[in-house]
Structure 1
Amino acid sequence: MSRNSRRPRRCGAEPSRRSDEAFVTGILTDEADFARAREWQLTDAPDYDTYLREAAGLLAEAVAGYATVRARMFHPDDFADYCLLHGVDPGEQAARDGYLVNPPLQTQLVTYRGEDLADFVPRLVRAREGGLTLRHADLVMDGALCEAEPAAADPRVRWTYQQASEVFRRVLVGAGCGAYEFRVAVDAPGGPLEAHARVLHWEDGAVRIHDEDLDLITAVLCAGLYGELPGVAVLHGTQGSGAVCGEYRQVAWAWRSTGFDWSPAELAVDGVPAGPGFSLGTVV
């Protein structure tokens, strides 16, 4: 499901030179989606295993021929909605091209760097989920979340974004060094807004977290504060470091928000039970 129906090829005067253009494709990420997509003749593969082998080959050729290779999860429901909204025939190549580069869904694109397809596919699924969460949070904030950089936004949006970032910072600073998972959920119109991330907090204060996970957590916290929506959060994992006397302990802390601020509470998020966390107001 590339932006053209042919297999990728090198461009330019010399065959060995990479094209400066980007190559964009869509990947069916499970057998059920593959079965449904057959009605649109998106692939000639007789079965899903064959399709995956062909997709891996397509990506390998694209990496050799293009400077940038990106992909997104090709979701049949999303594609059908796109075709209905824009009045295009799902069997046409132009419909697939438009769907793949649809501006509102650009956050679902993931850069491919030659990894195994088995490792790449889960990233595509996660990117779609994250993209939908960002769109939902943006709707809660009346389009203010994605329309501009936080520094260029109106004062209320800028303040809310700063407050959301500060909430997450205080959670991590208060927890200290360790390996954690953070989960947050906000009761929003249209359904809950949820995000989670794995975090490594080193003893020197450095924090390791995927950028896309940080964006999602900040967006959910921001939407909750902007809409004054109730929410819950849990941080759980292993506190401690080998550099600090080798001491470790399992921890699980929780907080609840009324829509204005976050306070310690005993609750569970996504099946993870936790006791009351520390007061975020005491963390500097």
Structure 2
Amino acid sequence: MSRNSHTPRIFRCTVGVPGQGRIQQQSRRRAEQAFVTGILTSHVDFEHARPWGLTDAADFDSYLLDTAVLLGEAQQAYGSVRARMFHPGDFADFCLLHHLDPAAPAARERYLLNPALRTQLLPYQGEELSGDFIPRLVRARESGLTMCHVDLLLGGGLLAGAGGGQGAAREVPDARVRSAFQRGGELFRRMLVGAGCGAYEFRCAVEAPGGRLTADARILHWEDGAVRLNDEDLDLVCAVFCAGLALELPGVAVLRGSQGGAGSCGEYRQVAWAWQSTGFDWAPASLNLGEIAARPGFGLGSVC
């Protein structure tokens, strides 16, 4: 993680007392506490947030350096560190809805800890902010909005009582929805097992009231059977499948990428498989996605 040598500037997108002062004041009592923060993810968002006094950094690059220092300090002092995208538009709407002053620290605290938005939180484990972590924050916001849409369609049965944090959808409180969520997870597992080792991109879409639900995931499937993908992507894929299965909505899914590995003498082949659902079950189908022609996928019932 990039660090600079000077004391970090005050960063007031955190819960409670801002910046380094908050980290130093209660360090002895924080081993089991969580540190939650919001991060501006672009130059444009940084400029939009300037009037609210979220940071005294001179520019976005300096802001990222200061934020990296703050997160590093928080990692040493807290039991866990979590972050979400601080979206100026969402924040302004939130303040308008709740009659809050966007320049007040209390408004930022309420925004960051809003239960309806906790699906956007990601654990921070020392990643480079300018690497994959900031893009993940952006995707987590988009995914969180989709999760809320799914939860609304299911009458609050997906997220209610599950804590709303990272991975919360895996402990779905509603029995009917939980069954559909588990079926969605099994559906996704069979697609990956049938594909075998390789590097893939997955996309599924379900036509739902209020707009299409979509989920994307990048997957590394190792030759020993291990599968690597981000937890939040797995949750979203399962949630979209869950909505389709529970409400009998039509949908499509495509798995494409490079199949093969070192065990196959370094031989790789480009593949693109597709499945389609009319509302109840998923079956192989042919799809044309722009320049990509996806052939019918394998029968999922034949995969153990």
2:99 maps to 1:79: no
Sort the Cα spacing of 1:270 and 1:127 in 2 relative to 1 into closer, same or farther, 3 A. farther
Structure 1 equivalent of residue 166 of structure 2: none
Structure 2 equivalent of residue 33 of structure 1: 45
Q: Secondary structure at the match of 1:243?
A: helix
2:130 maps to 1:137: no
Task: Please give the alpha-carbon distance, in whole angstroms, between the structure 2 residues aligned to 1:90 and 1:270.
Answer: 43
Question: Letter of the aligned partner of 1:242 in structure 2?
Answer: A
Structure 2 equivalent of residue 46 of structure 1: 58
2:69 maps to 1:57: yes
| Cα offset, 1:5, TM superposition | 3.3
Greater Cα shift, 171-180 or 148-157: 148-157
CA RMSD of aligned residues (A): 2.4
2:209 maps to 1:189: yes
| Cα offset, 1:155, TM superposition | 4.5
For residues 55-102 of structure 1, give each alpha carbon's deviation from its aligned partner in whole angstroms, at most 9, with x where no partner exists.
223223323333322221100111112212222111211001111111
2:105 maps to 1:105: no
Structure 1 equivalent of residue 222 of structure 2: 202
Question: Letter of the aligned partner of 2:79 in structure 1?
Answer: A
Counterpart mapping for 1:250-265 below 5 A: 250-265=270-285
Task: Please give the alpha-carbon distance, in whole angstroms, between the structure 2 residues aligned to 1:144 and 1:270.
Answer: 36
Structure 1 equivalent of residue 24 of structure 2: 10
| Cα offset, 1:26, TM superposition | 1.2
Q: Secondary structure at the match of 1:143?
A: coil
Q: Secondary structure at the match of 2:54?
A: coil
Question: Letter of the aligned partner of 1:121 in structure 2?
Answer: I
Question: Letter of the aligned partner of 1:255 in structure 2?
Answer: W
Q: Secondary structure at the match of 2:298?
A: coil
Q: Check the 8 A contact 1:256/1:262 in 2, yes or no.
A: yes
Aligned residues: 281
Structure 1 equivalent of residue 8 of structure 2: none
For residues 95-130 of structure 1, give each alpha carbon's deviation from its aligned partner in whole angstroms, at most 9, with x where no partner exists.
011111111111212222233221232222122122
2:233 maps to 1:233: no
Q: Percent identity?
A: 60
Sort the Cα spacing of 1:283 and 1:63 in 2 relative to 1 into closer, same or farther, 3 A. closer
Task: Please give the alpha-carbon distance, in whole angstroms, between the structure 2 residues aligned to 1:212 and 1:265.
Answer: 27
| Cα offset, 1:32, TM superposition | 1.2
Structure 2 length as normaliser, TM-score? 0.83
Task: Please give the alpha-carbon distance, in whole angstroms, between the structure 2 residues aligned to 1:95 and 1:270.
Answer: 44
